[in-house]
Amino acid sequence: MGGDKTKIILSITPPLLIIILLFYGGIFYGLVQSLGYQPAIGKYEINFDAYYNILFSERYAKLFWTGLALNLWVSFVSTFLAAVLALFAALAIRKTFFGKTVCNFIYSLNLPMPHLVVAVGIIFVFSQSGLLARMLAQLNIISSPGDFPVLVKDKYGVGIILAYIWKESAFFFIILMSVLQSLGENFEELAQSLGANRWQRFRYVILPLVMPSLFSASIIVFAFSFGAYEVPALLGVIYPQMLPVMAFEFFLNPDLNARSEGMALSIIIALIVMILVIIYFWLTQTRIRKD
């Protein structure tokens, strides 16, 4: 058994070391710096000033709280809509019809597409002189670009939400297709023979069956959209600003004192995501225990 133990330790150590040193090390170093310990500019004291400044100071508080609100709004709405749209798409597409393979491919197309490109694509389609505006102009529904609503770089985060829906609905779609495929249609056929109509089959059979997968995929998507940088950096506005962009800009600020605030903000983002995931696991664990 001694040999086994050595083998296990030797095999596990390299990847674990990479994660611990780079990932946890990075977080730890960020945490330390967020507490004001910055030897580079001669600060060795530990305090919570950066956190206090972000949460309560006149200078940053408004920026932070509106940013947090925008973050929650964007993540909730885009996660929910992407999940719902993907569910309907998956339910519609699993039946055989002409062009099924092609449609399947197109619906999965955004899965490997980088977020950055999706964001650029949203600009091309939804900006005031974008493809959609041109189509409406051709149909004489609008006459000038100004008639088209501001959907990109708008203060409600519509462009960001659109980009996440585009990208993450493909992710939900793939997951749902595989869940539906492994479930087969027997449960629905059974429910139908027991007298359930179309709506009842959706409400009492399909929805509860796909809910666990849909829920855990939602957590992944929510956590990602809450902490990602690229999409809001390209499609967002300066105020209100999503937290990851804000953290990054604090960090790049030539005033090195703002660096602590940037670090604090990134720690706050991580904390919120972590709390969310813990709540999720707590919910699923209690559900499993009830079973």
Stretch 5-34 residues interacting with other proteins (CB under 8 A): 5, 7-8, 10-12, 14-16, 18-20, 22-33
Residue 175 found at the interface with other proteins (CB under 8 A):
yes
Q: How far is the CB of 66 from other proteins (least distance, A)?
A: 19
200 and 191 Cβ atoms separated by less than 8 Å: yes
Which span sits near other proteins by CB under 8 A: 4-12, 43-51, 61-69, 150-158? 4-12
Q: Which is nearer to other proteins, 69 or 271 (CB)?
A: 271
SS (H, E, C) 38-89: EHHHCECCCCCHHHHHHHHCCCCHHHHHHHHHHHHHHHHHHHHHHHHHHHHH
To the nearest whole angstrom, how small is the minimum distance from the Cβ of residue 59 to other proteins? 20
Which of the residues 197 through 256 are near other proteins (CB under 8 A)?
197, 200, 204-205, 208-209, 211, 213, 217, 219-221, 223-224, 226-230, 233-234, 244, 247-248, 251
Q: Which residues of 44-63 are buried (b: 16+ CB within 10 A; e: fewer)?
A: eeeeebbbebbeeeeebeeb
Residue 195 in the binding site for other proteins (CB under 8 A): yes
Q: How far apart are CA 247 and CA 245, in angstroms?
A: 5
The angle that helices 100-108 and 158-183 make with each other, rounded to 10 degrees, is 130
Among positions 89-128, residues that touch other proteins (CB under 8 A) are 89, 92-93, 95, 97-99, 102-125
